[in-house]
């Protein structure tokens, strides 16, 4: 592709324009003979260039055409390409937003159950979106089925948990002792690096993993019925009585727990 072609001229348009730079004012017929652009196309090409203000008509009897100054033509072609690229950029941004929305997991309308194994990308995304709904506090208990997993498996969900948290959030984390053994040595530093206010405690045994968000919703991890070291999915509940019961259970365990950090 030629340089003028990259700026938006077709091969016929470029031939016509370059020919006019050499010949000066000529008729369409003369221009067709000199440039090699077919007579059946020459008027379409000239009309297109004239509409874009790259050539102009100099006289009417006979009708003759001349080229606009090269510096002006280059500026106009550059402006056209800039506008086209800006429109294309906006189109891609809109498409990206649509794709991003379509990829986010949403709970089925007939229930509030999200299927997903530990450490899976879809559950990490769902966890991040879940945390974005929190405004004041999150109380979370981490036990079964996380107890038999490696830190590498849990890391994506740990990062998603804090990526979705707002900076003015208070987070209380309660780990079972078995989960603590899977945490890396750098875990205290990871907690310190978070922008939210985090308190971590530990307790010997935890029967169930769940969280309570702002005392309006609780999500419960459902252990896999066959694989004891994995999760079948997460169920979300907004019934106020159920949420209050889980918050009460959390507070009972929290008061018995020991500080981890």
Per residue in 211-252, pLDDT (tens digit) is 999 999 999 999 888 877 788 889 999 989 999 999 999 999
Fold observed for domain 1-103: Arc Repressor Mutant, subunit A (1.10.10)
* 109 pLDDT more than 80: no
The predicted structure's pLDDT at residue 104: 63
End-to-end CA distance of the chain: 64
- Give dist(CA 144, CA 260) in Å, integer: 18
The predicted structure's pLDDT at residue 254: 95
The rounded percent of the chain whose pLDDT value lies above 70 is 96
Fold observed for domain 113-259: Endonuclease; Chain A (3.30.870)
Query: What's 33's DSSP letter?
Result: H
3-state secondary structure of 229: coil
Q: Which of 120-129 are b and which e, b meaning 16 or more Cβ less than 10 Å from the residue's Cβ?
A: beebbbbbbe
Per residue in 153-179, pLDDT (tens digit) is 888 888 888 888 888 899 999 999 999
Residues of the chain with CATH 3.30.870.10: 113-259
Tokens coding 91: 């189109």
Provide the total of helices (H) and of strands (E) in the chain, helices listed first: 10, 10
**Under 8 Å CB-to-CB from 131, ≥6 apart: which residues?**
138, 160, 161, 162, 163, 164, 165, 213
Q: Per the confidence metrics, is the pTM higher than 0.75?
A: no
Binning pLDDT at 50, 70 and 90, where does residue 47 land? very high
Residues of the chain with CATH 1.10.10.10: 1-103
**Under 8 Å CB-to-CB from 136, ≥6 apart: which residues?**
169, 170, 214
DSSP secondary structure of 116-152: --TT-HHHHHHHHHHHTT-SSEEEEEE-TTGGGS-HH
The predicted structure's pLDDT at residue 206: 85
Per residue in 77-107, pLDDT (tens digit) is 999 999 999 999 999 988 888 887 777 665 5
Region 194-210 average pLDDT: 91
In 168-224, which ranges are continuous DSSP H helix?
Answer: 177-180, 187-192
| Nearest CA-CA partner of 194 in 160, 154, 219 | 160
């Amino acid at each position: 592709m030629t340089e003028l072609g990259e700026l938006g001229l077709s091969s016929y348009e470029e031939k016509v324009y370059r020919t006019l730079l050499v010949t000066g004012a000529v008729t369409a017929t003369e221009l067709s003979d000199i440039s090699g652009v077919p007579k059946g196309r020459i008027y379409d090409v000239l009309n297109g260039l004239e509409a874009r203000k790259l050539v102009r008509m100099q006289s009417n009897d006979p009708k003759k055409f001349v080229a606009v100054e090269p510096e002006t033509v280059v500026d106009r072609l550059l402006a056209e390409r800039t506008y086209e690229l800006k429109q294309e950029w906006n189109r891609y941004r809109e498409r990206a937003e649509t794709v991003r929305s379509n990829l986010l997991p949403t709970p089925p309308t007939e229930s509030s159950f999200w299927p997903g194994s530990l450490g899976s990308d879809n559950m990490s995304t769902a966890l991040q979106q879940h945390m974005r709904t929190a405004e004041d506090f999150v109380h979370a208990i981490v036990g079964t089925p996380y107890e038999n997993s490696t830190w590498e498996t849990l890391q994506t969900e740990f990062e998603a948990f804090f990526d979705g948290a707002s900076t003015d959030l208070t987070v209380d984390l309660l780990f079972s002792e078995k989960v603590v053994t899977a945490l890396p040595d750098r875990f205290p530093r990871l907690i310190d690096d978070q922008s939210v206010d985090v308190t971590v405690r530990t307790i010997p045994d935890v029967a169930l993993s769940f969280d309570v968000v702002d005392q309006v919703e609780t999500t419960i991890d459902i252990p896999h019925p066959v694989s004891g070291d994995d999760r079948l999915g997460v169920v979300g509940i907004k019934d106020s009585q159920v949420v209050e019961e889980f918050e009460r259970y959390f507070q009972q365990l929290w008061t018995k727990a020991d500080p981890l950090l």
